[in-house]
Each structure stands twice: as C-alpha cells, then as structure tokens.
C-alpha cells in the first residue's frame, strides 16, 4: 500500500527551511507510515526588502510572509504550513487554523557584533528594524543610534561584517536553529527587551476540518497557551510588525505570568508591566494587562 503523502510548506530562506525540517523530522520519526515532503516558496515579504517603516499598510505587513503559503494550503498544493508565530497576522482565517506548536525555542533578543573589529557598538548604527527593539534599546543605552535592516539572518550578518552596522539585534532562536550561537555577544533578558509576541515559537497551519492528529508528536500545549496569550495581548493593542508591542508569557504549574511592553508611535510613552494568574484565565489576563498599559479602563 502506498504511503500517505504529507506536504509541508515553507518559505525558501535557510532559516525557514531548517525550522520546517524540525517539525517534519519529528513527524517522520513518530509516523514512519507517512511520506513527508517539503515544498518551498518565495513570499511577498521575501521579495519586498523595503524597511517596514515605509510600508503603506503597517498592520498588514505580517501577511506578506504568509499570503502565498496560505494560498498553497487552500489550493491543496501543501497540506500543512510551518511559520514563525511572530510572522503571523493576529487575525487568522477560520478556514486556515493554527493547529499545533512545538516546544518553544529561546524567546530572547540578542546582540550580535562583527566577527572582526569589534568597537564601541553603542555609537551605532545598530541594525534593528522593529520599533519594539529600537525603543527598548534606547532605554537601555541612551543615545544609541539605530538603523533599519532587512533580509534573512545571513544577509544581515554579511551587512554587519561588511561594516554597514556596528551591531545587530536579532532573535536568539533563529541564530540557534542556524547553528550560529557563537555570534551572540549578549543575551537581553526578558525585562530588558520584551520579545515580540510569539518569538521563538513555530506554528503549524492547516485546513479546517482535516485530521492533523499526526502533529500530536510535536505539539507542546504550554507553548500553544503562551503563544495564544501573547497574541491576545498584541491583538488588544492592534500590534503588527511595526507597532511597538512586546509580550512574553511563561507557565509554571497552573499559573501564567505575562510581561508586556507597549509605546505610542512617537516613542514618548513606554510602558512595561506584568501580571500573574491562573493559566485558564490566560486570554483575559493578557487583555486586561494590555488595557492597563494602554491607559484604558477595563470593559
């Protein structure tokens, strides 16, 4: 009997492919009766290298990294897609639900310095595109000069080593998955740079009504709850790729702690806060924290 074929969809970048293979390999080990295939594609976000700050639709930016992959899911060209959760729009189409999250990677941001000629990086420019990183970095190092940087991880590292930047701020998980931990000069703790919602989390997206029980072999329920919590915080604040919003959730026993960050577009009013409560109340806790930090009354 022929094996059932499961086609996993991914962006073409080296990091995206490696992340997809993490899921594929785990499924293949648990389900040798399946034939696992990889399908890669280029997305609009890969082709458009303009800084996020120049986008005409700032809250639609995340869809640039998922649109073509979602079209492939709908057409049946692939059976399941693997994304970085932080790249996913907060509003997901009901026909293409998020169906599983593996165990989370390191959620922290890190500082990366050039391989040679390391100097006083605080004098900049430091490459970081998101307002979330830029504003929090300025709070840690007053006077730091930042500049936007786009491209995949290796492209950014080449720009750094060529002298375009004195340092970069990147996600620890991406560097680790590429085997580039040696490039990390400093880990920023959660209370220093609150990560992007979903940072370090991979997510599988599928078609509504289909059987994805084979993903039980990679599913981590606590990671799924943390991702749901962080996205609820971001959604309440209208968070997108350019919005200065950060969130991190951590579960211990039956309690969840949520740390949030937000600012207005001018960057004049930075707010951080945290809340702890029952895991079952995760979404309500996240929404209440978002409203508190935004200065809105609870409804």
Active site residues: 87
In 3D space, the residue among 101, 90, 139, 83 whose CA is nearest the CA of residue 247 turns out to be: 90
Long-range contacts (CB closer than 8 Å, 24 or more residues apart) made by 27-35: 27/214, 27/215, 27/217, 27/218, 29/217, 30/214, 30/217, 30/218, 31/214, 31/217, 33/3, 33/4, 34/3, 34/4, 34/5, 34/6, 34/214, 35/3, 35/4, 35/5, 35/6
Residues 6+ apart with CB under 8 A from 68: 41, 42, 43, 44
Do residues 26 and 217 lie in contact, with contact meaning Cβ atoms separated by under 8 Å?
A: yes
Round to whole Å and give the CA distance between 299 and 281: 16
Round to whole Å and give the CA distance between 188 and 173: 13
């Amino acid at each position: 009997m022929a094996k059932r074929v499961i086609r996993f969809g991914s962006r073409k970048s080296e990091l995206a492919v490696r992340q997809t293979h993490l899921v594929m390999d785990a499924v293949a080990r648990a389900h040798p009766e399946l034939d696992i295939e990889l399908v890669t594609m280029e997305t609009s976000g890969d082709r458009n290298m303009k800084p996020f700050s120049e986008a005409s639709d700032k809250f639609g930016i995340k869809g640039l990294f998922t649109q073509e992959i979602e079209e492939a899911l709908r057409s049946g060209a692939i059976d399941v897609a693997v994304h970085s959760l932080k790249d996913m729009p907060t509003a997901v189409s009901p026909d293409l639900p998020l169906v599983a999250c593996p165990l989370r990677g390191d959620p922290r941001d890190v500082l990366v310095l050039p391989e040679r000629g390391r100097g006083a990086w605080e004098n900049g420019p430091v490459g970081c595109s998101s307002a979330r990183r830029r504003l929090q970095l300025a709070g840690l190092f007053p006077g730091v000069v930042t500049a936007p940087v786009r491209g995949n991880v290796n492209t950014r590292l080449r720009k750094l080593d060529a002298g375009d930047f004195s340092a970069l701020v990147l996600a620890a998980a991406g560097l680790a998955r590429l085997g580039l931990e040696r490039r990390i000069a400093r880990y920023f703790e959660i209370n220093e740079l609150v990560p992007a919602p979903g940072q370090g989390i991979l997510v599988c997206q599928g078609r509504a009504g289909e059987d994805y029980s084979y993903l039980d072999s990679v599913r981590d329920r606590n990671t799924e709850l943390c991702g749901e919590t962080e996205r609820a915080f971001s959604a309440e604040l209208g968070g997108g790729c350019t919005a200065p919003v950060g969130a991190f959730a951590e579960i211990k026993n039956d309690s969840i702690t949520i740390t949030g960050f937000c600012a207005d577009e001018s960057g004049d009013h930075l707010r951080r806060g945290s809340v702890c409560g029952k895991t079952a109340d995760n979404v309500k806790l996240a929404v209440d924290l978002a409203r508190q930090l935004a200065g809105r009354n609870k409804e």
